[in-house]
Chain A
């Protein structure tokens, strides 16, 4: 119809285009096509998660593409958290001088 000839205006970027911009911005390259595909999949999931956080968040935070967008949550935790905390943290709440603490 008549709408067909109208300029549709700016279109949302395709996922691969967004991923390419991410690679350029954060200087990322992948060793083979399989790795690229895997990272693209992780990137897509993370973007979806960011959108979900935006929808749920009650604060003013904005979530989206970051330097960590091609990492799984587990990889992110391993690379940037402190892994020793993954196990049981030592008891820090014990009162000094209590029976539990033994010697001072």
Chain B
């Protein structure tokens, strides 16, 4: 397991930050990001897939009122892939009876999808060797978040009450030697330390957080990050080639 991994550093793997606006479609945007990244890693092709197709063609109807990552993957399997974002652009609302899946050419498809073990080391290993993973977290602390590494406890962020899906794109350890209080010097200095973290891609626009991303503490199941780690498989396991996540 490498000490750090950041798929953003490999060009063409992580698509631009999306903006879900008034549509509760984080689950569809996280899924789209997962497929785009895996497609880029496996086939060296930059694709942006249609989130709107996931919303319009989902079996559960109005995808702007919420959904699950696993339902998005089932939609991709049922439709034999996804059209491009350019052909079938995001509208921010849903026309459940207007599924246009058959109208456009598919630009990416998946073989199946899996849920990983609820273990942060397993998740890190899979992330580093296979690619980005969708996770579903409790988003409570994100409402006031600006930047830095969030270190939550079950009391401040219930790991069972997960309600927001995002894409896990990397991990690392903070280089700052000392916590925020030590850096600011406003109160008692903390002992020197580095904090292990996850890097997550959100779907609230690039203006939010750390240019659309945020970091969560790694190793404490912060905000329930291990509850639903799901990822597509874009290739048959037997054909797998080793990939390398840039440090």
Contact = CB atoms under 8 A, between A and B. Distances in A.
A71 interface: yes
Contact of B24 (A56, A68, A82, A89): A82
Q: How large is the interface on A (under 10, 10 to 19, 20 to 34, 35 or more residues)?
A: 35 or more
Contact of B67 (A46, A56, A84, A92): A84
A90 B136 CA distance: 14
Nearest to B151: A59
A76 interface: yes
B96 interface: no
B145 A61 contact: yes
A85 B162 contact: yes
A20 interface: no
B147 interface: yes
13 contacts: A57-B180, A59-B180, A61-B141, A61-B150, A61-B151, A63-B146, A66-B145, A67-B208, A80-B139, A80-B204, A81-B26, A82-B68, A84-B60
The 3 lowest CB-CB distance pairs between A and B, nearest first, are: A59-B151, A82-B66, A81-B163
Interface of B: 20, 22, 24, 26-27, 60, 65-68, 70, 115, 136, 139-141, 143-151, 156, 162-165, 174, 176, 179-180, 183, 195, 197, 204, 207-208, 215, 217, 228
